[in-house]
Amino acid sequence: MLDMRPTCERCARELPADQPGAMICSFECTFCADCVSGPLNETCPNCGGTFVPRPPRPTALLAKYPPRAPGDAAE
């Protein structure tokens, strides 16, 4: 399952799983659209890959499939 990271890895902006505006690379590195189109120049700084928009998760499914919360030990 897609790893829905809750914040931009660069600027720590909150990226709610049920809202658009997050960008992911093939390794699910997660950044906000502003960082991707600006300082990152469309290239992932972790793996060198390109980004695609992360599809929002329907709000109705968030209760059943919650995104990882900040501070979880799963990192």
Q: Which residues bind Zn ion (CB under 5 A)?
A: 8, 10-11, 13, 25, 27, 29, 32, 35, 44, 46-47, 49
| Closer residue to Zn ion, CB minimum distance, 10 or 62 | 10
Structure tokens at 65: 């499939």
- Nearest approach in angstroms of CB 64 to Zn ion is 27
- DSSP secondary structure string for all residues of 2-60: ----SB-TTT--B--TTSS-EEE-TT--EEEHHHHHTTTTTB-TTT--B-EEPPPPPHH
Tell me how far, at minimum, the Cβ of 50 lies from Zn ion, in Å.
9
Judged by beta carbon, residue 17 or residue 25, the one nearer Zn ion is: 25
